[in-house]
């Protein structure tokens, strides 16, 4: 069995894989003339820093990553030979608390990408008002090419290679593209083998997004999708629209995209088009997300071939008329080529960095609203924080409690971003950054720079 069918992220977090991207064709993040992902993150930061007149010293600090860990580590393959893999952990900023962020397995993982993802995590935690800093890690690997046992050995060796660079009160990891609760359980188990026995109980919170039985939180698997749907509902209410009457399209049908679709369906909205790494499908009368998820589970995580919809090409996908577009795959998907095609009213960013600066400009010109990633997809890290807190306190919260607390935080973020956008007369992405930067600036000013 290959990891594509077993280790990549399942829509239910159970380990039924999506097969991952292949880093080519539809998997590409950048194309000719497109800027790097980190350059995009930097430009977004500069724009907000200029507008709010961020203190120049604090600006210098926040422009740099704090620690950049690169590890080359060996993994024994099923054929008995050893292969060397490259992994990363970038810790962008820790002024608000321990570093926090996902671990991604993808062939396109490189320094540029993880720097951007780590930076976005800093803004996301600051905006959500949770006491974490920003980090992200990953391994340059296409999990679809490896067996489940090889992915387990890779996950464990990567953890050991990171060593003391992660820790329960230092840097806490979580799932991201092509990683899932099972992989988090292996990372946790390997990490615990590296600490003294009396440290093991308190160390379990080094990983969030664990299986519930291994100390995970109720509601973590759906949390990112749930946060996105709450943001869309808030947007709909403000625009006098019934969420139940919305038509929407989703790019990426993994953890984030599928859970967002399940919850949009529950709100009565109609899913009209889906794209994943295997291709795109559409049905103007509606696609049943639960049925599609069953189909994907049987097909290596892929939506292609779903009998309840017709195959469409990528350009047709982006041109589909709908109210809401939820990108939930990779970076740079809404760009100078695809943004002109979009016929939606709002983009609810489930993925990190799905819109590049050229895409942003085009969306603004077209009057398409954007619920920016650092606000819209924060549900995952918010419930990761709840999981970390439960582990720290030896508590177990029930689903209602988790859902209720998540809902309040998403609503608070939405309102703060809206108010800031009004105050500064700016777009919502810049406003979201300003909320985060104001908080970071306050803490730097209070604490000062030593010596």
By CB under 6 A, name the binding residues for ligand NAD: 9, 18, 21, 26-27, 175-178, 224, 251-257, 275-277, 328-330, 350-352, 377, 380
Q: Give residue for tokens 């695809």.
A: 338
> In the numeric block, which tokens belong to residue 117?
């993802």
Residue 279 Cβ, how far from ligand NAD at the closest point, in Å? Answer: 9
Nearer CB in complex with ligand NAD: 49/118: 118
Shortest distance, position 53 Cβ to ligand NAD, whole Å: 30
Residue 175 Cβ vs ligand NAD, minimum distance, rounded to whole Å: 5
Q: What long-range pairs does 442-450 form, CB within 8 A, spacing at least 24?
A: 443/95, 443/96, 444/55, 444/58, 444/61, 444/95, 445/55, 445/58, 447/95, 449/57, 449/61
3-state SS, residue 168: coil
Mutual orientation of helices 220-238 and 255-266 as an angle, nearest 10°? Answer: 50
Provide the minimum distance between the beta carbon of 342 and ligand NAD in the complex, in angstroms, as a whole number.
15
Of all residues in the shown chain, the one whose CB is closest to ligand NAD is 254
Specify the residue, 178 or 335, whose C-beta has the smaller distance to ligand NAD.
178
Q: Position of tokens 């009057």?
A: 367
Q: What is the smallest separation between the CB atom of 350 and ligand NAD, expressed in angstroms?
A: 5
CA 64 to mean position of chain CA atoms: 21
Nearer to ligand NAD, 271 or 329 (CB): 329
Cβ at position 201, least distance to ligand NAD in Å: 25
| CA atoms 122, 127, 130, 131: torsion sign | positive
The strand ranges marked E within 60-195 are 67-76, 82-93, 99-106, 133-140, 171-175
The rounded distance, in Å, linking the Cα atoms of 132 and 116 is 17
C-alpha 353/C-alpha 39 separation (Å) is 11
- Angle between helix axes 111-128 and 379-393 (nearest 10 degrees) is 70
- Comparison of 232 and 330: residue with beta carbon closer to ligand NAD: 330
Report the nearest approach of ligand NAD to the CB of residue 255 (Å): 4
Minimum CB distance to ligand NAD smaller for 6 or for 254: 254
In degrees and rounded to multiples of 5, residue 333 shows phi and psi of -80, -30
Q: Are 343 and 322 in contact (CB under 8 A)?
A: yes
**Which CB sits closer to ligand NAD, 136 or 441?**
136
Q: Least CB distance from residue 224 to ligand NAD, whole Å?
A: 4
Q: CB-wise, 208 or 441, nearer to ligand NAD? A: 208
Q: CB-based contacts of 404: which residues, under 8 Å, 6+ apart?
A: none
Whether the upstream peptide bond of residue 451 has omega within 30° of 0, thus cis, is yes
Token readout for 297 is 């589970």
- Residue 79 CB, shortest distance to ligand NAD, in Å, is 26
E-assigned strands of 193-345? 247-251, 270-276, 279-282, 310-312, 324-327
Query: In whole angstroms, how close is the CB of 377 to ligand NAD at the nearest point?
Result: 4
Residue closer to ligand NAD (CB basis): 354 or 357: 354
Q: Are 404 and 96 in contact (CB under 8 A)?
A: no
Residue closer to ligand NAD by CB (options 98, 257) is 257
Nearer to ligand NAD, 54 or 258 (CB): 258
Shortest Å distance, C-beta 314 to ligand NAD: 8
Cβ(180)–Cβ(15) below 8 Å: yes
DSSP 3-state assignment of 106?
Answer: strand
Select 255 or 430, whichever has its Cβ closest to ligand NAD.
Answer: 255
């Amino acid at each position: 069995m290959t990891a594509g069918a077993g280790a990549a992220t399942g829509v239910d977090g159970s380990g039924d894989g999506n097969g991952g991207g292949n880093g080519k064709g539809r998997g590409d993040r950048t194309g000719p003339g497109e800027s790097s992902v980190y350059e995009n993150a930097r430009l977004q930061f500069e724009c907000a820093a200029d507008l709010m007149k961020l203190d120049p010293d604090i600006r210098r600090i926040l422009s740099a990553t704090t620690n950049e860990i690169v590890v080359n580590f060996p993994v024994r393959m099923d054929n008995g030979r050893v292969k060397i893999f490259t992994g990363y952990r970038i810790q962008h900023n820790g002024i608000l608390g321990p570093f926090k962020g996902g671990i991604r397995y993808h062939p396109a993982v490189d320094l540029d990408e993880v720097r951007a993802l780590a930076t976005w995590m800093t803004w996301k935690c600051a905006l959500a008002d949770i006491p974490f800093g920003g980090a992200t890690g990953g391994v340059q690997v296409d999990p679809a090419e490896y067996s489940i046992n090889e992915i387990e050995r890779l996950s464990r060796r990567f953890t050991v290679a990171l060593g003391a660079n992660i820790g329960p009160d230092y840097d806490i990891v979580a799932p991201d593209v092509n990683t899932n609760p099972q992989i988090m359980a292996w990372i946790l188990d390997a990490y615990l083998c590296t600490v003294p026995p009396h440290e093991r109980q308190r160390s379990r919170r080094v990983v969030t997004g664990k299986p519930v039985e291994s100390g995970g939180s109720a509601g973590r698997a759906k949390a990112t999708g749930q946060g996105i749907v709450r943001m869309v509902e808030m947007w709909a209410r403000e625009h006098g629209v019934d969420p139940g009457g919305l038509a929407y399209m989703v790019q990426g049908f993994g953890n984030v995209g599928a859970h967002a679709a399940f919850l949009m369906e529950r709100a009565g909205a109609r899913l009209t088009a889906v794209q994943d790494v295997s291709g795109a499908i559409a049905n103007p009368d509606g696609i049943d997300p639960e049925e599609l998820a069953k189909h994907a589970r049987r097909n290596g995580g892929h939506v292609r071939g779903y009998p309840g919809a017709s195959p469409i090409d990528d350009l047709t996908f982006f041109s589909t008329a709908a109210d809401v577009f939820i990108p939930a795959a990779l970076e740079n998907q809404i760009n100078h080529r695809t943004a002109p095609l979009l016929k939606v009213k709002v983009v609810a960013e489930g993925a990190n960095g799905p819109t590049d600066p050229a895409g942003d400009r085009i969306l603004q010109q077209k009057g398409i609203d954007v619920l920016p990633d650092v606000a819209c997809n924060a549900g995952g890290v918010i419930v990761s924080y709840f999981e970390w807190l439960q582990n720290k306190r030896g508590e177990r919260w029930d689903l209602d409690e988790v859902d209720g607390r998540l809902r309040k935080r998403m609503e608070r973020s939405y309102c703060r971003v809206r108010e800031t956008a009004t105050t500064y007369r700016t777009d919502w992405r810049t406003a979201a950054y300003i909320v985060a930067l104001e908080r970071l600036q306050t803490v730097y000013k209070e604490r000062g720079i030593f010596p």
